[in-house]
Amino acid sequence: MKDLKNIRDQFPVLNQKINGYDLVYFDNGATSQKPLSVIESISNYYKASNANIHRGVHTLSRTATELFEKARKTVADHFKVKNDQQIIFTAGTTDSINLVVNGLSKNYLQKGDEIILSSYEHHSNILAWQLWAEENGGKLKVIPLLEDQSLDYSKLEELINQKTKLIAIAHVSNTLGVITDLEKIKVLAKKNNIAVLVDGAQSAPHMPVDLEKLDVDFFVCSAHKMYGPTGIGVLYLSEKWLKDLQVSKPGGGTIKTVTFEKTEYAENALRFEPGTPHIAGAIGFAAAIDFMNAVGMQTIFEHEHELVQYAQQKMSEIPEVIVYGKSNNKAGVISFNVKNNHPFDVGTLMDKYGIAVRTGHHCTQPLMQCLNIQGTVRISFAIYNTKSEVDFFIEKLKKVITMLN
Ligand SMILES: Cc1ncc(COP(=O)(O)O)c(C=O)c1O
């Protein structure tokens, strides 16, 4: 059930004034705020159960291990993954992508291979592939945009050839909010035996994600955008890649046996989790997932979608405003500019009214080049945002436009 008052009360950070105004937090795409249940789960862990995990025989270590592994199960259940060993805890989306690129480069990606990305990828899903391509004579190809800034899927088939090994694509664009049609991607990928990595950094917080149905090779996301703590995220591996992905980040905990001559690595998730993991982070992440499921992922999606529709309608009535990402198939993100003004100026003035927006290229510089702009102002919603916050934002946006012009 959606009870916004009750939901907002769970986020102490929202209850403050910025520059004399009630905080309006519209920067959820960068990181969301954390409910009390998440904050308390982390605090309780350190107060009552802190110990290093796995291999400990003492009680605290066994408790911490249980909590950590229970968190893995919570994540697996949330994403409808039957084998929880397919859920690897990483430091977040960026770390997960690096783990995949470095692992694949050991035995799957060959010199001269090609990888397909979309025009709206976050730098995290470009740079590691680019580095690999530079070092191995590989090539990155890009799915272009249509007029409404959704992807031109009709061009995908032309990009595929014998050398195409992987399609790495955002589920939701962090800058435009556009939702990728993964079914279209998957049909071509399967037909041509190409692996698919889905960057779920902006889908996992905003919509139901069923990884069994999605049936891709890799899925990655970050807890801090999902009401959870920073420094922890997920790398989901299909059954095949849990076996076949090579270890690229070895260390204590990843092994079965070690001699000075040779190491046999573990066959489960631990194979990819070197060193002491972010135990408190995993526990906080599980609490964040419990929070999202108590509200309901479909409820979260519908609420944010409604806010997007509402805000976009109001923004379309302001002649000085240009909105990017016109497709109707969007999650809770709107990017815009005020004609003839720098996004930074708009953002700075909005902050004077306690409204937190993000400005700049949003780590999507290639997209900015496609759109032929320097940057945008981005507002991005979470379940605790309200229509009255949108009204306040629109009122102040009009005021800012008058001040700037
Ligand atoms: C689509 C997308 N991919 C990757 C990232 C990187 O996430 P993180 O900084 O949590 O690793 C972000 C963060 O904004 C994102 O929006």
Atom of ligand 1 nearest to the CA of 93: 11
Distance 104 CA to ligand 1 centre (A): 21
- Predicted pLDDT at 191: 97
For the domain covering 4-26+296-404, report its CATH number. 3.90.1150.10
Neighbours of 213 (CB within 10 A): 8
The residues spanned by each domain of the chain are 4-26+296-404, 39-294
Q: Is the shortest distance between the CB of 203 and ligand 1 below 6 Å?
A: no
Whether the CB-CB separation of 275 and 251 falls below 8 Å is answered with: yes
- Would you say domain 39-294 falls under CATH 3.40.640.10? yes
CA distance 32 to 42: 17
Q: Which residues contact 243 (CB under 8 A, 6 or more apart)?
A: 267
Supply the residues annotated as catalytic.
363
Atom of ligand 1 nearest to the CA of 233: 10
Write out the two tokens for 22. 């009630």
Distance 94 CA to ligand 1 centre (A): 6
Distance 403 CA to ligand 1 centre (A): 33
Whether the CB-CB separation of 384 and 33 falls below 8 Å is answered with: yes
- Predicted pLDDT at 1: 47
Distance 236 CA to ligand 1 centre (A): 16
Q: Is the shortest distance between the CB of 312 and ligand 1 below 6 Å?
A: no
Name which of 277, 173, 291, 280 is nearest 235 in CA terms. Answer: 277
**Torsion over CA: 94, 88, 199, 247 (sign):** positive
Ligand 1 pocket test, pick from 173, 174, 220 with the greatest ligand atom count within 8 Å of Cβ, gives: 174
Q: Is the shortest distance between the CB of 27 and ligand 1 below 6 Å?
A: no
Q: Is the shortest distance between the CB of 380 and ligand 1 below 6 Å?
A: no
The pLDDT tens digits along the chain (405 residues) read 468 889 999 999 999 999 999 999 999 999 999 999 999 999 999 999 999 999 889 999 999 999 999 999 999 999 999 999 999 999 999 999 999 999 999 999 999 999 999 999 999 999 999 999 999 999 999 999 999 899 999 999 999 999 999 999 999 999 999 999 999 999 999 999 999 999 999 999 999 999 999 999 999 999 999 999 999 999 999 999 999 999 999 999 899 999 999 999 999 999 999 999 999 999 999 999 999 999 999 999 999 999 999 999 999 999 999 999 988 889 999 999 999 999 999 999 999 999 999 999 999 999 999 999 999 999 999 999 999 999 999 999 999 999 998
**DSSP alpha helices (H): ranges in 164-207?**
182-191
Ligand 1 pocket test, pick from 124, 173, 367 with the greatest ligand atom count within 8 Å of Cβ, gives: 124
Type of residue at 200 = G
Atom of ligand 1 nearest to the CA of 224: 10
Distance 93 CA to ligand 1 centre (A): 6
Q: Is the shortest distance between the CB of 121 and ligand 1 below 6 Å?
A: no
- For the whole prediction, is pTM greater than 0.95? yes
Write out the two tokens for 231. 């420094």
- Predicted pLDDT at 3: 86
